[in-house]
Chains A and B, each alone.
Chain A
Amino acid sequence: MGSAQSVPPEMRALAERTGFTSEQIEQLHRRFKQLSHNRKTIRARIVHAFFDKRNLRKAPAGLAEEINFEDFLTIMSYFRPIEMDMDEERLESFRKEKLKFLFHMYDADYDGIITLQEYKNVLDELMSGNPHLEKESLRAIAEGAMLEAASACMARTGPDEVYEGITFEDFLKVWKGIDIETKMHVRFLTMEAIAHCY
């Protein structure tokens, strides 16, 4: 990963841009320096997401080769918790940002649409910890999910049109029932949750 930067005057600018406090930035910084791989099943995807240029707001597609601390913070800022004093509009844009991040994680080929294959890949990775699974179930589930999403958007497309995949608007619709803003956040509360080297 990129080089570490810890210059205090820049921190303020960083803090403003990403919304973290300086303590949180320090903590993340420490962690950034001693990053080791995580053992989660979708780890490749998560790591990928850090390098995804769309998330870094640099370009509509492609992977960055290295990211610096600023970029790291940019990504982490997607996981900010909401604040009490946000108004409706900010809340809405906040929500959209988070959902866009998720969307980019699903959509691996940068075309703005989640196709069935991409969806299946996601499911495969999710279930990868489970060797007893048959491919059939995964296939069925992926198709079922796509169908559901499609039927939710059927009104929009004509019945004979070809349904290519889930676009961002459809994605938003699916997520309407779940309040993402309350779920997609990580606590940076305690300073003693310091990284353990492992």
Chain B
Amino acid sequence: MGAAALRALPWALLLLLGPLLPGQRLQADATRVSEPTWEQPWGEPGGITAAPLATAQEVHPLNKQHHNHSAEGHPKPRKAFPVLGIDYSHVRIPFEISLWILLACLMKMGFHVMSSVSKVVPESCLLIVVGLLVGGLIKAVGEKPPILKSDIFFLFLLPPIILDAGYFLPLRQFTENLGTILIFAVVGTLWNAFFLGGLMYAVCQIGGSGLNHIGLLANLLFGSIISAVDPVAVLAVFEEIHINELLHILVFGESLLNDAVTVVLYHLFEEFANFEQVTIIDMVLGFLSFFVVSLGGVFVGVIYGLIAAFTSRFTSNIRVIEPLFVFLYSYMAYLSAEIFHLSGIMALIASGVVMRPYVEANISHKSHTTIKYFLKMWSSVSETLIFIFLGVSTVAGQHYWNWTFVISTLLFCLIARVLGVLVLTWFINKFRIVKLTPKDQFIIAYGGLRGAIAFSLCYLLDYEHFNMRDMFLTAIITVIFFTVFVQGMTIRPLVDLLAVKKKQETKRSINEEIHTQFLDHLLTGIEDICGHYGHHHWKDKLNRFNKKYVKKCLIAGERSKEPQLIAFYHKMEMKQAIELVESGGLGKIPSTISAVSIQNISPKTLPDSNALSALSKDKEDEIRKILRSNLQKTRQRLRSYNRHTLVADPYEDVWNQMLMKRQKMQQAELQNAYLTVPANRIDSPTMSRARIGSDPLAYEPKPDSENLPIITIDPASPQSPESMDLSNEVPKGCGGLPPSPEEDEEGLVMRPKEPSSPGTDDVFTPGTSDSPSSQRMLRCLSDPGPRQEPEEGEPFIPKGQ
């Protein structure tokens, strides 16, 4: 299958490129062809050379003359009505754009089909190779392959990737390591730029006649272009190797934040290269402009983020365009920053980070999914296109290969990076609690990939002032290729070799969330005791400010008062409920929380928790049926390990019959449900038989069981038939418990149970007084009210609900 796809690939390529080529030729020929049309009258009936019809618009001025020409003389022959015509120039641009994007997507698909290759070679390398091939093909046909224009890159291809990164930035790790990231981004990039620029200047002086004319400023400019770590390349490579979050955020954060430095240095040296003399004032101004650019970018981003959050507060009636607000405001932030030469990337990140918590509290679940998938889709396609175009531009661009320059660039780039990381880490480790080990340092240094941003920046250079632009381009492309191919390909085996810690693929559990919050409070308290205004102190202050003022403005309605833990819990429950329904409910339930959740969420339907409030009553019942059927299956599975039934296995059928009988018995007792303390347990016949069969000692009640409240976890216990009446019970307290006065305060398991034999299954005690409450208790933990038949063939909730 993979081989077949491989063989099909070149044909697919040709097929796709087919229209591309004549299209270009067409346009080129159009002007030429229009001349002869003028000469010859429309003599050829149905003359379906594309030219005359395609150039219909251009021919207008010519047409008029032609008309006069013919009107003077002979009768004009009538042209046949064109049944089928070709008008390519009309749609040329969108058509070609779509073709390129389609090519990018097909490539991506192809790589996943040929998975053996993509395990060794990272996707970015493959894409560049494809770009090279395509460029070569176009050139071979005689056309001029398109070069990645800087405008297209900066305005259309880069923003989706950055927005995706910024919106889903793991904020906790980012802020915890912000100092380190800033030092790497700012000081590291500055060091790289100056070190490289200076050394290249020295090389140019020594390097012979071809290089002597390149001045210091030009070299510094070159250094500043190439020294920036590229977020696109870093993302592309690091995504696949799954290293631990700390390293990921360090390298990635650095690549994002160094944009400000790059912008400043670039504009600085570009301007300076035109000056005859650089004074101190200029340098001071340059230094100031760094702060303006970076802080200004962040400021613009924050403003737009707040506006977006505020807008999302009112979108409860037009849910469908909610995602658009997020995209548009972020894009506007980027463009606005670019107007003033501020750092667009930082604006984009700032707006994404600021708007996210508030927007997510306001928008519907579907909008959230839409945003997530659209961002991922756009950024993925953008990335693919960028790499392909890099390959094509390599073939298309004019190159000037100078061995000395290129090789020394490459060498010094690597040396500068390694030195920079080493020195900075030594400095940073004095302030870090969690120090960076040499292994970490190696990965950080090795992960300094260069990419398309450097290429585009160089392409922007003005040819007149920088006539060595081609040489720069060649050197930059070489460095990019080297870092992406060599470093990108080898980083994965190196990570395995060095046994670097990988990302832990655990889901956030509610326990973790509680503990993390507890820890936060604890540490803040301890910091207070020490009198130390530390990290936690400021975080706490920020949180309080946020809660008191900001949330009230930006979050609609009730959600503004919801503490984070509750919000997290709700989100998780909803996710699990939806997961359960989507998976068809056939697998084992991941955890029994979902059962509790359904009954618990309904009394508190938040105005915009669409997923569950949209569920009508019968759908709720369907969910319950599904859950029930699962729980019974789980139950049956569990039963085989039950030490009672190991002996008493033949009683399984009897068991079920007992249940049915009991349920019918208790249907009559619907009203007397709400008693409290379970009294003496009466064993079911099954249980007593089972007990006799097994070890009697196992039934010693535990010594303290009187004082300890206990939870019986019995996830699959069949329930009492009171559950038939769930519609009445749902609005009440925990797990549908009716609010009996004694129970109100304590809820589920707060009463000390009578010391029952621990082996007894609570369910099977047909005692009247205790069973309802105990079953209710169990029902809280598991599935609400089953009817006996497991209904597996039930139609599940249709998708799209």
Contact = CB atoms under 8 A, between A and B. Distances in A.
A165 B525 CA distance: 27
A98 B112 CA distance: 45
Interface stretch (B81-89, B271-279, B641-649, B658-666): B641-649
Most buried by B among A76, A139, A160, A188: A160
Number of contact residues on A: which range applies?
35 or more
Contacts of A60: none
Interface string B757-801: 011110000000000000000001100000000000000000000
B380 to A, nearest CB: 28
A57 interface: no
A133 interface: yes
Interface string A136-166: 1101110111111111001000111111110
Contacts of B715: 151
Contacts of B747: 135, 139
A150 B431 CA distance: 40
A165 B711 CA distance: 8
Interface of A: 27-28, 30-31, 35, 38-43, 46, 76, 79, 81-82, 84, 102, 105, 111, 113, 115-117, 122-123, 126-127, 130, 132-137, 139-141, 143-151, 154, 158-165, 174-175, 177-178, 180, 182-189, 193-196
Interface in B715-742: 715, 733-734
Contacts of A133: 563, 566
Nearest to A175: B515
Nearest to A146: B711
B529 A38 contact: yes
A71 to B, nearest CB: 14
A195 B531 contact: yes
Contact of A116 (B517, B518, B709): B709
A184 B569 contact: no
B531 A186 contact: no
A115 to B, nearest CB: 6
A31 to B, nearest CB: 5
Contacts of B597: 140, 144
A46 B750 CA distance: 25
A42 B517 CA distance: 11
A47 to B, nearest CB: 9
A42 B518 contact: yes
Closest 3 CB pairs of A and B: A195-B531, A38-B528, A40-B525
Given A143-B748, A189-B431, 4 more contacts: A31-B530, A183-B523, A186-B526, A193-B531
B7 interface: no
B514 A163 contact: no
B577 to A, nearest CB: 13
A140 B534 contact: no
B512 A187 contact: no
Given A174-B512, A175-B515, A187 B569 contact: no
A118 B437 CA distance: 40
Contacts of A180: 519
A183 B566 contact: no
Interface of B: 431, 433-435, 437, 504, 506, 509-512, 514-519, 521-536, 561, 563, 565-566, 569, 573, 591-593, 596-597, 600, 603-604, 638-639, 641-644, 702, 704-705, 708-715, 733-734, 747-750, 758-761, 780-781
Most buried by B among A76, A79, A145: A145
A189 B705 CA distance: 48
9 contacts: A31-B531, A38-B529, A126-B517, A149-B511, A151-B713, A164-B711, A174-B515, A183-B516, A184-B522
Given A186-B534, A195-B531, A136 B524 contact: no
Contacts of A140: 569, 596-597, 600, 734
B600 A42 contact: no
Contacts of A163: 710-713
A150 B711 contact: yes
B530 A105 contact: no
B714 A159 contact: yes
Contacts of A150: 711, 713
Given A123-B514, A195-B531, A117 B750 contact: yes
Contact of B569 (A30, A102, A130, A144): A144
A32 B313 CA distance: 47
A143 B708 contact: no
